[in-house]
């Protein structure tokens, strides 16, 4: 495998700071999307002013894998057959997008569609409700 992928930014626009967690020490060994909190095992912060590349993640992960290979905080569900730990490292960063970023434009478009759909559904329910009410009134006449 070539090494050029190591020079790729982890995201665009490049993120410059990420916090690092391991699941063995955070008590979160499942596949959830919960955002880690300060009380979980924050191992540190990775800061690269020019933007974090895949290479930076690999470099930061190597000593963590070594240190937590036999971590005593790991649950039984993350143990390998040989007693070592299935180590999951989470790098968490925040990128502030420009207002005209295509991702935000798509998100706004989806939200607008959703609002229109719910408004149309509410209007249809209201029409049906008035129709049913009118029918009941006519039955009484
Ligand atoms: Zn650990």
Q: Give the residue from 58, 51, 53 showing the smallest Cα distance to 13.
A: 51
Tell me the pLDDT band of 42, cut-offs 50, 70 and 90.
Answer: low
CA-based max dimension of the chain:
84
Quick one: pLDDT at residue 12?
87
Cα-to-centroid distance, 20 and ligand 1 (Å)? 12
Cα-to-centroid distance, 125 and ligand 1 (Å)? 54
Q: Which residue has the higher pLDDT, 76 or 108?
A: 108
Domain boundaries along the sequence of the chain: 4-93, 98-141
pTM for this one? 0.64
Cα-to-centroid distance, 19 and ligand 1 (Å)? 15
Asked if pLDDT for residue 31 goes beyond 50, the answer is no
Cα-to-centroid distance, 29 and ligand 1 (Å)? 11
- Highest mean pLDDT among 12-21, 27-36, 67-76, 110-119 belongs to 110-119
Q: Which residue has the higher pLDDT, 41 or 126?
A: 126
Average pLDDT, the chain: 85
Asked if pLDDT for residue 117 goes beyond 70, the answer is yes
Residue 101 burial by Cβ neighbours in a 10 Å radius (0-12, 13-18, 19+): middle
Cα-to-centroid distance, 74 and ligand 1 (Å)? 6
The Cα–Cα gap between 11 and 89 comes to 17
Cα-to-centroid distance, 94 and ligand 1 (Å)? 24
Count of other CB atoms within 10 angstroms of residue 72: 8
Cα-to-centroid distance, 52 and ligand 1 (Å)? 23
- DSSP result, 92-118: EE--PPPTT-HHHHHHHHHHHHHHHHH
């Amino acid at each position: 495998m070539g090494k050029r992928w190591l020079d790729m930014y982890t995201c665009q626009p490049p993120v410059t700071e990420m916090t690092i967690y391991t699941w063995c020490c955070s008590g979160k060994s499942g596949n959830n999307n919960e955002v880690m909190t300060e009380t979980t095992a924050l191992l540190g912060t990775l800061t690269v002013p020019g933007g974090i590349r895949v290479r930076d993640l690999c470099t930061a992960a190597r000593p963590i894998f070594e240190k937590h290979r036999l971590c005593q905080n790991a649950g039984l569900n993350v143990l390998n057959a040989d007693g070592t730990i299935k180590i999951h490292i989470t790098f968490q960063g925040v990128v502030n997008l420009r207002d005209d970023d295509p991702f935000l434009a798509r998100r706004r478009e989806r939200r607008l569609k959703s609002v229109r759909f719910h408004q149309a559904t509410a209007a249809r329910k209201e029409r049906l409700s008035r129709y049913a009410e009118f029918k009941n009134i006519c039955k009484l006449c």
